[in-house]
């Protein structure tokens, strides 16, 4: 399976027209970024970079692809023959997977000829928009869960392949496990599961169902206790399993009130180590409300995998710089764009003071860092206050991913995912957000583009 | 590729426990339905049935699947060997793809042994929830467009494989074409495309870009006119192409105002047959607002493919009837469920008067239809008014899809999709909703479960 048809038709017709006009081989810089965060979001989490690298590696036009394209009549034979030779040969730099992003953060930069780089637009955006949408809300959920393990169990609410990527994005931001077997198989994510109402209903009595489950799956299993009457169910389960009963799951009703009653009941029956897992239309707000309830974990589905009301961060893939007929590189942009998104490849750093993030620096080009540092120093010197300079550092956010079309590292998918999980945890710690602040707020740090602006924040 | 791992772990552990308890072969009836429509939605559109049939056909556990499952340690060797033989052998009846649904409509009924039928839950729900979410909002968009052609172009905002299914669902509900090449290749959906800002920006001047596009792609192409100044762009394009210029695309700004100006300008330049296509964050509400603007088509992306704020219709897969230890079938349901979803496989009909839909009949079992008709007749006779009885009819909504695990028809994917497109158009016409009523409203018809209730509606 190639990935080349996961693409909008116009990418190919633009390549054809540019080739015929002699501009297809002009050097270009494309950047992926979003203009803003959704209302109430303090940050976004970049996810999907690992999958983007896989999609680029598979971006070839095979016989079946070309046969289909020929049949559309939209492209000339010469173009089709040229596409047969397509390989991505450019450079890709980007934020590490799991890294946080803010408005205008250049999360991916693609450099190559126009025809080589423009073709990747659709599939790159599909992957980054989807995966980052899930990761961005998932990070809020694990924060609200305050260390209580979260199970991803939303696969049934989304496209069956998106479900796999969603489980991956959830694991990236700290989910403990997934119910999705394909995600377990592809990415070695731990899988977990409980039992459904259908299982209880299959048996003549609830007691028969619990006995069957506990006999087969062992006492450490999780039984679902809200099919009929919760108290009766818990007494029945403990009677059969004894105090070694692993966990009970609540899927409906007033979870706060029930959790307290349930804990008391379990304790009174001697099942003091039996855990209580809550499920049922949970999101970061509900998890936050449940912080004081005696719960031991959450199963989270729909709101996670559908991006919590913001399914895509609005990533765009924009041409920001290209070679002109004079052979020189020129920044370019739509007339209506504002300065922050107009032209030129950008470098990005997180400005840290004492290990805490204070600003997202987005500078027009690597060469500008020295200038930024001079401006910043000058502004701080002239100001009335200044931070402990020795505590200030710039953490580079962009890393090379592909150079000349070749991967910079050869991490396999599960290892990449673990590295991203660590990156997310470390970058989130730099923000210093406490779960007690609640899920919503303005962007946690400002995006700044020059030294004086940074000095105002630090001063 | 099998589809068997697109499944939650608990489906397999439940099968294992049921097998060990001797209940795995009890006959079961599962139904897929949703309890309610999202706020403001008059109806939902069922989509994905064709893909469900493909997924069931591929639901096998191959060596790689079993190797992974063995590695999880979650299942016993005997269970794994048993799964190797898994084939779905039951019956599936359901609403035709493209059919409308309402609260509690039994859109799919799966009958088989517990172990045979329960395993399909996750993948069936993934497909129907995703595809129906897109189709349900897409139908509102094509209605609001009042016959102006709509292009699906949202692939970059969703998971790359979900993008293909979304294009399919959009075509089902009357979209004219898609930008997504993979959807074109898999389902023979017409593909369409224009040009991007990056193409214009690649050239030294906009005139160079237009000349390149028109020379390569012909005068019938669609040029993007809002990279710099719209009026200048249109004059340039018409100067190069003459009155045969196919279309211009507007992607930003005040579309209503611009469309009027643009039409006047094109007409004044003699380009009276050049079409105007609008794109840019459109949804059914925006399209409705643009009804009086001189536009000739819409390109619709994000809001379509993400389900317009309601990404999944909330379909559930519930055990409603099963064999007990007495060998008889018994209706079953959670204690907390209301009557409408409690127990027993259901038959469904659309009640039509003079070809117009008046109610969704959901009756507990085929045998109840005669009783319904008696009740209805008796109630109408005793009432003060009655409809023209000769004009009243019951259209059966459920059709056999798989019998004994075998497909009832052998339609290929593109033919199935065309049949669904016709079904959608015909069922929507039965509702008699005018675009002038606007997108939102209560459920277009009530769901009724007995004759007296139906008589009250007709009386």
- DSSP state letters, A8-36: BHHHHHHHHHHHHHT-TTSEEEEEEE-S-
Q: Looking at chain B, which residue has its C-alpha nearest residue A309?
A: B309
In a domain, A239, yes or no: yes
Position B22 scores a pLDDT of 98
Contact B248, B195 (CB under 8 A): no
Contact A90, A405 (CB under 8 A): yes
* pLDDT one-digit tens code per residue, A293-325: 999 999 999 999 999 999 999 999 999 999 999
Give the pLDDT band of residue B81 (cuts 50, 70, 90): very high
Position A339 scores a pLDDT of 47
In a domain, B78, yes or no: yes
| B33 φψ region: left (φ > 0), alpha (ψ -120 to 50), beta (else) | beta
Position A385 scores a pLDDT of 57
A436 in the same domain as A326 = yes
Position A115 scores a pLDDT of 98
Among the listed residues A441, A435, A427, the one whose alpha carbon sits nearest the alpha carbon of residue A349: A427
Q: How distant is the Cα of B436 from the closest Cα of chain A, in angstroms?
A: 29
Question: What does the alpha-carbon distance between residue A100 and residue A352 come to, in Å, rounded to a whole number?
Answer: 14
Q: How distant is the Cα of A34 from the closest Cα of chain B, in angstroms?
A: 12
Rounded percentage of chain A residues whose pLDDT exceeds 90: 85
Among the listed residues B394, B130, B140, B118, the one whose alpha carbon sits nearest the alpha carbon of residue A158: B130
Question: What does the alpha-carbon distance between residue A46 and residue A102 come to, in Å, rounded to a whole number?
Answer: 10
Q: How distant is the Cα of A408 from the closest Cα of chain B, in angstroms?
A: 24
Inter-chain CB proximity A14 and B196 less than 8 Å: yes
Question: What does the alpha-carbon distance between residue B118 and residue B106 come to, in Å, rounded to a whole number?
Answer: 17
Among the listed residues A447, A458, A424, A457, the one whose alpha carbon sits nearest the alpha carbon of residue A348: A447
Residues of B in contact with A8 (CB under 8 A): 153, 155-156, 179-181, 193
Give the pLDDT band of residue A340 (cuts 50, 70, 90): very low
A453 in the same domain as A315 = yes
Question: What does the alpha-carbon distance between residue B50 and residue B184 come to, in Å, rounded to a whole number?
Answer: 16
- Pairing relationship of beta strands B356-363 and B347-353 according to DSSP bridges: antiparallel
Q: Find the mean pLDDT for residues A75-85.
A: 98
Contact A46, A101 (CB under 8 A): yes
A354 in the same domain as A262 = no
A100 in the same domain as A31 = yes
* Cα→Cα distances B61→A156, A301, B7, B80, Å: 19, 25, 12, 9
The single residue listed with the structure tokens 């196919």 is: B246
Residues of B in contact with A169 (CB under 8 A): none
Position A372 scores a pLDDT of 81
Facing A159 at nearest CB: one of B126, B198, B212: B126
Residue A131 CA, distance from chain mean position: 5
Complete DSSP assignment for B329-376: EEE---TT--GGGSSS--EEEEEEETTEEEEEEEESSTTHHHHHHHHH
Give the pLDDT band of residue A79 (cuts 50, 70, 90): very high
pTM: 0.96
B128 in the same domain as B14 = yes
Inter-chain CB proximity B198 and A319 less than 8 Å: yes
Contact A311, A103 (CB under 8 A): no
Inter-chain CB proximity A160 and B121 less than 8 Å: no
Q: Find the mean pLDDT for residues B51-66.
A: 97
End-of-domain residue from the set B281, B302, B322:
B281
A315 in the same domain as A284 = no
> Which tokens belong to B84?
């190797």
| Residue B280 backbone dihedrals phi, psi, to 5 degrees | 110, 90
A105 in the same domain as A54 = yes
Position B148 scores a pLDDT of 98
A101 in the same domain as A214 = no
A352 in the same domain as A244 = no
> Which tokens belong to B316?
């559930």
Inter-chain CB proximity A18 and B212 less than 8 Å: yes
In a domain, A260, yes or no: yes
Inter-chain CB proximity B197 and A319 less than 8 Å: yes
Inter-chain CB proximity B8 and A181 less than 8 Å: yes
A109 in the same domain as A231 = no
Q: Count of CB atoms within 10 A of residue A73's CB?
A: 7
Average pLDDT, chain A: 94
Give the pLDDT band of residue B385 (cuts 50, 70, 90): low
**Coil, helix or strand at residue A122:** helix
Position B374 scores a pLDDT of 81
A119 in the same domain as A229 = no
Inter-chain CB proximity A333 and B201 less than 8 Å: yes
Inter-chain CB proximity A14 and B228 less than 8 Å: no
Estimate the share of chain A in helix, then strand, then coil, as percent rounded to the nearest 5: 45, 20, 35
* CB burial of residue A122 (10 Å; 0-12, 13-18, 19+): buried
Whether residue A336 is predicted with pLDDT greater than 80 in this model: the reply is no
* pLDDT one-digit tens code per residue, B118-148: 999 999 999 999 999 999 999 999 999 999 9
Does this complex have an ipTM over 0.85? yes
Position B371 scores a pLDDT of 80
Contact B84, B61 (CB under 8 A): yes
Q: Looking at chain A, which residue has its C-alpha nearest residue B55?
A: A160
**The domain containing residue A217 runs over which residues?**
194-289
Residue B261 CA, distance from chain mean position: 37
Complete DSSP assignment for B75-96: S-HHHHHHHHT----SEEEEEP
- Pairing relationship of beta strands A108-113 and A27-33 according to DSSP bridges: antiparallel
Q: Find the mean pLDDT for residues B422-444.
A: 96
Give the pLDDT band of residue B339 (cuts 50, 70, 90): very low
In a domain, B154, yes or no: no
Q: How distant is the Cα of B356 from the closest Cα of chain A, in angstroms?
A: 33
Give the pLDDT band of residue B384 (cuts 50, 70, 90): low
Facing B17 at nearest CB: one of A212, A252, A309: A212
Relative orientation angle of helices B413-431 and B160-172, to the nearest 10 degrees: 50
Among the listed residues A31, A41, A30, A34, the one whose alpha carbon sits nearest the alpha carbon of residue A314: A34
Among the listed residues B417, B193, B212, the one whose alpha carbon sits nearest the alpha carbon of residue A72: B193
In a domain, B139, yes or no: no
In a domain, B430, yes or no: yes
Q: Find the mean pLDDT for residues B149-155.
A: 98
Question: What does the alpha-carbon distance between residue A43 and residue A442 come to, in Å, rounded to a whole number?
Answer: 8
Question: What does the alpha-carbon distance between residue B50 and residue B417 come to, in Å, rounded to a whole number?
Answer: 8
In a domain, B150, yes or no: no
End-of-domain residue from the set B281, B303, B328:
B281
Angle (CA) A197 B81 B20, round 5°: 40
Contact A357, A432 (CB under 8 A): yes
Give the pLDDT band of residue B328 (cuts 50, 70, 90): very high
Count of CB contacts below 8 A, A vs B? 306
Question: What does the alpha-carbon distance between residue A126 and residue A146 come to, in Å, rounded to a whole number?
Answer: 31
B336 in the same domain as B263 = no
Any bridge partners for residue A318, and if so which?
A: A31
Contact A285, A435 (CB under 8 A): no
Greater confidence, B390 or B256?
A: B256
Dihedral of the alpha carbons of B426, B432, B437, B443, in degrees to the nearest 10: -90
Among the listed residues A231, A233, A246, A255, the one whose alpha carbon sits nearest the alpha carbon of residue A193: A246
Question: What does the alpha-carbon distance between residue B165 and residue A437 come to, in Å, rounded to a whole number?
Answer: 40
Q: How distant is the Cα of B452 from the closest Cα of chain A, in angstroms?
A: 31
Contact A125, B157 (CB under 8 A): yes
Inter-chain CB proximity A161 and B163 less than 8 Å: no
Q: Count of CB atoms within 10 A of residue B1's CB?
A: 9
| Number of domains chain B is built from | 2
Whether residue A431 is predicted with pLDDT greater than 70 in this model: the reply is yes
Among the listed residues B300, B255, B281, B257, the one whose alpha carbon sits nearest the alpha carbon of residue B140: B300
* Cα→Cα distances A371→A194, A366, A378, Å: 58, 10, 11
* pLDDT one-digit tens code per residue, A150-200: 999 999 999 999 999 999 999 999 999 999 999 999 999 999 999 999 999
Q: Find the mean pLDDT for residues B142-160.
A: 98
- Pairing relationship of beta strands A447-448 and B329-331 according to DSSP bridges: unpaired
| Overall size of chain B counted in residues | 459
CATH code assigned at A271:
3.20.20.70
Rg (C-alpha) for chain B, rounded Å, is 26
In a domain, B158, yes or no: no
Position A387 scores a pLDDT of 64
Q: Looking at chain A, which residue has its C-alpha nearest residue B72?
A: A191
CATH code assigned at B30:
3.20.140.10
Position A337 scores a pLDDT of 58
* Cα→Cα distances A355→A101, A428, A432, B354, Å: 17, 11, 10, 73
Inter-chain CB proximity B130 and A229 less than 8 Å: no
The dihedral built from the CA positions of residue A189, A190, A194 and A195, taken in this order, carries a sign that is positive
Q: Find the mean pLDDT for residues B315-329.
A: 96
Average pLDDT, chain B: 94
End-of-domain residue from the set A258, A289, A320:
A289
Position B411 scores a pLDDT of 82
Complete DSSP assignment for B5-56: TSSBHHHHHHHHHHHHHT-TTSEEEEEEE-S---TT-S-EE---HHHHHHHH
Any bridge partners for residue A398, and if so which?
A: A95
């Amino acid at each position: 399976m190639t990935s080349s048809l996961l693409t909008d038709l116009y990418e190919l017709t633009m390549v054809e027209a540019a080739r015929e006009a002699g501009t297809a081989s002009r050097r270009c810089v494309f950047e992926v970024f979003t203009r803003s965060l959704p209302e109430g979001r303090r940050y976004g989490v970049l996810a999907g970079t690992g999958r983007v690298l896989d999609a680029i590696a598979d971006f070839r036009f095979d016989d079946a692809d070309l046969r289909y394209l020929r049949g559309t009549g939209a492209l000339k034979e010469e173009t089709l023959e040229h596409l047969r030779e397509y390989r991505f040969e450019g450079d890709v730099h980007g934020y590490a997977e799991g890294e946080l992003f803010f408005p205008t953060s250049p999360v991916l930069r693609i450099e190559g000829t126009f025809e080589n780089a423009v073709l990747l637009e659709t599939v790159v955006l599909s992957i980054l928009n989807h995966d980052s949408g899930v990761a961005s809300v998932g990070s809020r959920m694990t924060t609200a869960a305050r260390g209580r393990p979260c199970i991803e169990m939303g696969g049934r609410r989304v496209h069956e392949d998106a479900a796999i990527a969603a489980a991956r994005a959830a694991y990236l931001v700290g989910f403990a496990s997934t119910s999705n077997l394909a995600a377990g198989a592809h990415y070695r994510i731990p899988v977990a599961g409980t039992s459904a109402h259908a299982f209880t209903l299959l048996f003549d009595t609830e007691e028969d169902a619990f006995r069957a489950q506990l006999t087969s799956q062992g006492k450490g299993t999780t039984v679902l206790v809200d099919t009929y009457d919760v108290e009766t169910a818990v007494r029945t389960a403990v009677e059969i399993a004894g105090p070694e009963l692993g966990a009970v799951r609540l899927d409906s009703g007033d979870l706060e009130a029930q959790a307290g009653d349930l804990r008391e009941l379990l304790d009174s029956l001697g099942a003091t180590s039996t855990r209580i897992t809550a499920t049922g239309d949970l999101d970061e707000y509900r998890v936050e409300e449940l912080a004081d309830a005696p719960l031991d974990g959450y199963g989270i589905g729909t709101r996670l995998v559908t991006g919590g009301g913001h399914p895509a961060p609005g990533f765009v893939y924009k041409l920001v710089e290209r070679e002109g007929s004079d052979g020189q590189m020129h920044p370019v942009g739509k007339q209506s764009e504002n300065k922050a998104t107009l032209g030129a490849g950008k470098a990005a750093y997180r400005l840290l003071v004492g290990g805490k993030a204070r600003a997202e620096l987005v500078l027009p080009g690597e060469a500008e860092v020295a200038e930024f540092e001079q401006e910043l120093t000058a502004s701080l010197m002239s100001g009335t206050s200044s931070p402990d300079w020795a505590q200030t550092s710039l953490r580079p956010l962009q890393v090379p991913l592909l150079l000349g079309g070749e991967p910079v590292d050869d991490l396999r998918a599960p290892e990449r995912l673990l590295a991203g999980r660590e990156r997310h945890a470390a970058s989130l710690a730099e923000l210093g957000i406490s779960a007690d602040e609640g899920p919503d707020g303005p962007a946690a740090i400002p995006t700044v583009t020059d030294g004086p602006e940074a000095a105002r924040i630090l001063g």
